[in-house]
Amino acid sequence: MANRTNTQQSKHDQKVEEEAKRYKAGGYQVWADLKDWPSPKIINNHQPDVIAQYYSIEKIIEVETPESIEQDKEQHRAFQRYADSKLKTEFKLVIAK
């Protein structure tokens, strides 16, 4: 988990909410690592920011800030390994600016 300033954490959380709402509006079932959302499952010992599922299609979304992207590379690799091992599963890294 990245260490972020309060400002950066706020930008991160805002982008997580934006991604979650976008997928939900698209008809996906959504789990997000935010208050008032169901929690995403743990994948390879890490919890992604958002999981969006539409029938058998699964999207794993991890949001980083420019300051945190280098800190969480192992987490990104873990999500990518999981996505690569499943059909119709995609890992997406999003940068909150």
Q: What is the tens place of the pLDDT at every residue in 37-93? A: 999 999 999 999 999 999 999 999 999 999 898 998 999 999 999 999 999 999 999
Domain membership flag for residue 49: yes
Domain membership flag for residue 17: yes
Provide the residue range defining the domain that includes 47. Answer: 6-95
Domain membership flag for residue 89: yes
Q: Count up the domains in the chain and report the number.
A: 1
pLDDT of residue 23: 98
Q: What is the mean pLDDT of residues 32-36?
A: 96
Domain membership flag for residue 68: yes
Q: How would residue 5 be classed by pLDDT, with cut points 50, 70 and 90?
A: confident
Tokens of 27: 């008809």
Domain membership flag for residue 91: yes
pTM for the model stands at 0.94
21-30: long-range pairs with CB below 8 Å, 24+: 23/50, 23/52, 23/59, 23/61, 24/52, 26/52, 26/54, 27/54, 28/52, 28/53, 28/54, 28/59, 29/53, 29/54
Domain membership flag for residue 36: yes
Domain membership flag for residue 1: no
CATH number of the domain bearing residue 40? 3.40.1350
